[in-house]
Amino acid sequence: MNSRINSEYKYTEYLPDYLEQDLNKIKKKQATTESLLTGEQEDLTNQLVKQTDSPIIPKKQDQIIPNDSNIDNNASRALIQRQQQNYVADQPEWHAPWKLMRVIAGHKGWIRSIAVEPDNKWFATGSNDNTIKIWDLATGHLKLTLTNHIMAVRDLVISDRHPYMFSCSEDKTVKCWDLERNKVIRDYYGHLSGVYTMSLHPTLDVLVTGSRDSTVRVWDMRTAVPVFTLTGHKNPITQVEAQSTDPQIISASNDKTIRLWDLAAGKSQTVLTQHKKAVRSLALHPTEYSFASASADNIKQWKFPEGTFLQNFIPRRESIVNTISINQDNVMFAGNDDGTLSFYDWRSGYKFQDLSTTNIPGSLDSEAGILTSSFDKTGLRLLTGEADKSIKIWREDPDATKDTHPGIKFNPDLYRQEIY
């Protein structure tokens, strides 16, 4: 009974007038109520009275008890099931459909990471073949191959403010590359296992790395001196991101949690535990104060700085989400392990397109997974790294219009759920 009352009134601030007026009626009905419920109901009612000093006002727009004249004004109203609070989704924005533009081959292993340079002229890829390759974004031609790692290259990031590129690998190392000389100028040592992910702070000379050793490390980018070692995750770190407003670090892990860290203090601020499976990817919105997280069976949208839950995106039931990316036009992409690509409207959560990739000749059907993704700096091209050892570039169909591709079949019963 205690849990039932708490469930009914967990979103309220004050006790309602009608409940205070009915306390005497509750006591009168106790004589006819089963002995077990008698004592519990009185204790719970008194507990609610002690927690409040004035009449109840529902929080925000929560309608805890229906205002129905057909319902008797008595104690039974306190036990009415609180209606699940749903929000009707926004009308989806129209987006042009996406299509394949180019296929690039050259790596001899899975493509694990993609990074586009700030001027949008070239991009880098890291692979299980232990190499980093630099490609011309306009033509897809190979420009350079870097071979300093001895194990798979798991992530790449290119600085917006310095001529540096950073790479991390399963060989436990993080390297800083001078792009003017195409050589390693700095190594970052400290992780006890393979380094899976990293991120550069947008405004500070700070590098953040996440490892299979379940730790997140913060480094001085210029000196390679460790600043913080952030502990709390129980399983390998799958992705880290840094955002400048607070400033904060966001980390995702195979332990099913997301942590928001105070970068200045080096401490955990919030732990998000709503995912039911390992969290495999994070994506920050480029212009809004929000981000998304993807687990094997669910994608969720959150708001900074507290990690407030906003809505769910419904992925393909028969696939596992490996990677997500968001562009400035409010298109969210999800790449799946079965080679399918899903495109969503960021505001409403509406999925407006599903595509399937095409394996390059000579690859197996099982090598159809999308492993990593990134939009270019304009948001008009999407780059995907795949298990068939290829990089594919996708773009919006320039000939599509609302008349030729209406796309959206809006369902007014589509809800944005507050619950997880």
- For residues 199 and 274, state if they share a domain: yes
What's the confidence (pLDDT) of residue 31?
52
| Cα–Cα distance, 365 to 362 (Å, whole number) | 10
Strands (E) across 171-304 are located at: 174-178, 183-188, 195-200, 206-211, 216-220, 226-230, 237-243, 248-253, 258-262, 267-272, 279-284, 290-295, 299-303
Domain assignment of residue 42, yes or no: yes
- Number of domains forming the structure of the chain: 2
- For residues 73 and 128, state if they share a domain: no
Which one of 83, 118, 135 terminates a domain?
83
Q: Closest Cα partner for 26 from 65, 69, 84, 75?
A: 75
| Cα–Cα distance, 142 to 61 (Å, whole number) | 57
Domain assignment of residue 393, yes or no: yes
What's the confidence (pLDDT) of residue 27?
54
Give me the count of residues in the chain. Answer: 420
- For residues 215 and 74, state if they share a domain: no
Place of tokens 């759920």: 417
Which residues in the chain come in under a pLDDT of 70? 1-90, 407-420
Amino acid identity, position 246: D
What CATH number should be reported for the domain holding residue 280? 2.130.10.10
What's the confidence (pLDDT) of residue 83?
40
Is the pTM for the entire model greater than 0.85? no
What's the confidence (pLDDT) of residue 409?
55
What H or E segment, with its residue span, contains residue 384? strand 381-386
What's the confidence (pLDDT) of residue 90?
64
What's the confidence (pLDDT) of residue 22?
52
| Cα–Cα distance, 109 to 389 (Å, whole number) | 5
What's the confidence (pLDDT) of residue 34?
47
What's the confidence (pLDDT) of residue 368?
87
Are the C-beta atoms of residues 228 and 240 closer than 8 Å to each other? Answer: no
| Cα–Cα distance, 406 to 413 (Å, whole number) | 19
Query: Using DSSP, how many helices (H) and how many strands (E) does the chain show?
Result: 4, 30
- For residues 326 and 382, state if they share a domain: yes
- For residues 109 and 251, state if they share a domain: yes
What Cα–Cα distance (Å) separates residue 41 from each residue in 44, 158, 199, 312? 5, 62, 53, 36
What's the confidence (pLDDT) of residue 61?
39
- For residues 207 and 76, state if they share a domain: no
- For residues 265 and 356, state if they share a domain: yes
What's the confidence (pLDDT) of residue 226?
96
- For residues 138 and 45, state if they share a domain: no
Range of the domain at 19: 2-83
| Cα–Cα distance, 146 to 155 (Å, whole number) | 14
- For residues 207 and 71, state if they share a domain: no
What's the confidence (pLDDT) of residue 299?
96
For residue 35, the 8-state DSSP code is H
Domain assignment of residue 159, yes or no: yes
